[in-house]
Structure 1
Amino acid sequence: MTEPLRLHLDAALGRIVFDRPQALNAIDQATARAFEAAVAQALDAGVRVLTLSGNGRAFMAGGDLAAFRRAEDRAAEAEAIIGPMNRALARLAESDALTVALLHGPVAGAGLSLALAADLALAAESAVLSFAYLGVGAPADCGITWALPRIVGLRRAAWIALEGSAVPAVQALDWGLVNRIVPDAALQDEGTRLAARLAGLAPGASGALKHLLRDGFGRDYAATLEAEKQAFKTCAATADFAEALAAFFEKRPARFTGN
């Protein structure tokens, strides 16, 4: 049986490639379970950066509607798919690892949810982003109602979700849904270069920054000041901070170890 995704580990870098091109990488139960297992394996291996991409002509077309059509109990089918995806996404969010989505072709439904769950997103020129849930009679899943309004604001999030038009790459960049557009042929190389640069950061500091940014919407200003102070103090006690100081004054690149 063909695996629905592939995990590649290379020291501090990990790559998850969704690999159901015949179904535009739509998520079925097997894909959801494989994603949860791949995330666990990557994080347990200590990756600092994890990229998400799709094989074939799409990043991901969303959930597998054919699987839902075949299911006798569609609520149970939803639980079997969304449950593992949610656990994996929650573990990624709680970790210090940074995630980068590499988007091309259709990025719809749960595919858009995954793209927005990542810390950064590169889009190929062919990328077209679609909320798509309401078109199949469902509201949302995989955290999109948390991420979308935080990225684009409430009114624009409502427009994207309710009006329903596809968002091409150029507009997605203008609205802040992606960080950069690259030619399709350069997407994987650019993603690898970005991941390598991120992996070269001090992981304790970059992980702390990730959490400060993600959690900032839930704190008032005073609480944010305190959280920043505590995170800074924690990092200041690490070997990586000492290495950064030494590298700065010795005018050389820092070599971070995660200690």
Structure 2
Amino acid sequence: MTADFQTVRLEISEGVATLTLNRPDRLNSFNDQMHQEVRAALESIRNGRADGSVRVLVITGAGRGFCAGQDLSDRSVAAGDEAPDLGASIERNYKPLVTSLRTLDMPVIAAVNGVAAGAGANLALACDMVFAARSASFIQSFCKLGLIPDTGGTWILPRLLGPARAMGLALLGDKLPAEQAEAWGLIWKCVDDEALMPTVDALAKQLAAGPTFGFAQTKRAIWASSTNDFPAQLDLERDIMRECGRSHDYREGVAAFMEKRAPRFKGN
């Protein structure tokens, strides 16, 4: 299955939805049309989760970059112009985008194929797992414009890297190569450029065939741990395990183990 858009591509096959940011001439930077089409694509993916046709989402970029963040040519900031309301842009576009990825009840994998800068870097980091090509890099370029890391950057970076490294990346805007990002624990894995999509595709299909109801609950619990205290997290684990224990996938997993056969998970 494919869907028709101008600034993104959405392909669905074997339970895996691949959303490709598709403005390669602008390094896949966001304009209003791309935001609208990404929202529509994510809604289609949610519908696919409901009917069982989508169980994993992969996000990548067309051409030589993943995403360069906001397309500044889409905003007027010339001298004498009325100052743009960047807060309105966050509220309308970037906040709902990363919230959608965090709450999507399936694994979300970023395949970073080149530069990921500004909002593009933090879009990738908002995904559940990040794979990056060896030639890829991450840049918190906001400081070059007198801005702060948005799209969840001020929340994600210190939790993944600690305050010292987060502050250095935010204040200096230095390019962080993919290999260093892996060494620091910012991303899951750095792979050779030619291995990026085959590696991600194989993992996505593996996850799509797995107990995706449990995967969604794992995602829910891990994200919640950053704001819960320990007793609250234990209570959440109890409640989620109760839900998982009532699922088809749990019963099927136990039956398959006892019968020494491959399980047939349904994602519910």
TM over 0.5: yes
**TM-score normalised by the chain length of structure 2:** 0.91
The letter of the residue matching 2:38 is: F
Asked if residue 68 in structure 1 is aligned to residue 75 in structure 2, the reply is yes
Alpha-carbon distance between aligned partners in 2 of 1:82 and 1:134, rounded to the nearest angstrom: 20
Go from structure 1 to structure 2 and tell me whether the alpha carbon gap of 1:226 and 1:78 turns closer, same or farther (over 3 Å shift).
closer
- Aligned-partner Cα distance in 1 for 2:30–2:251: 44
Measured in 2, the distance between the counterparts of 1:243 and 1:2 equals 38
Count matched residues: 259
Verify the 8 A CA contact 1:240 1:258 in the aligned structure 2: yes
CA distance in 1, matches of 2:94, 2:144: 21
User: In the TM superposition, what is the alpha-carbon distance from 1:49 to its structure 2 partner?
Assistant: 1.0
5 Å matches for 1:89-238? 89-238=98-247
Is it true that 1:21 corresponds to 2:24 in the alignment?
yes
Q: Deviations over 1:4-37 (max 9, x none)?
A: 1111122521111011111010111111111111
TM-score by length of 1: 0.94
- Conserved 8 A contact 1:17-1:55: yes
In structure 2, the residue corresponding to 1:201 is in which secondary structure? coil
RMSD: 1.9
Matches of 1:73 and 1:200, distance apart in 2: 52
> Paired residue for 1:243, among 244, 252, 259?
252
Specify which of 28, 33, 38 is matched with residue 36 of structure 2: 33
Structure 1 position 97, deviation (Å): 1.4
Query: Secondary structure of the equivalent of 1:84?
Result: helix
How much has 1:96 moved relative to structure 2? 1.1
Pair 1:29–1:81, CA change in 2 (3 A): farther
Quote the Cα distance in structure 2 between the aligned partners of 1:195 and 1:107.
21
Query: Structure 1, unaligned stretches of length 5 or more?
Result: none
The range that moved more, 123-132 or 9-18, is 9-18
Judged with a 3 Å threshold, the aligned counterparts in structure 2 of structure 1 residues 171 and 23 are, in CA distance, closer, same or farther, namely same
CA contact (8 A) 1:32 1:82 kept: no
Query: Kindly, what percent of the aligned residue pairs are identical?
Result: 33
The residue identity in structure 1 corresponding to 2:71 is D
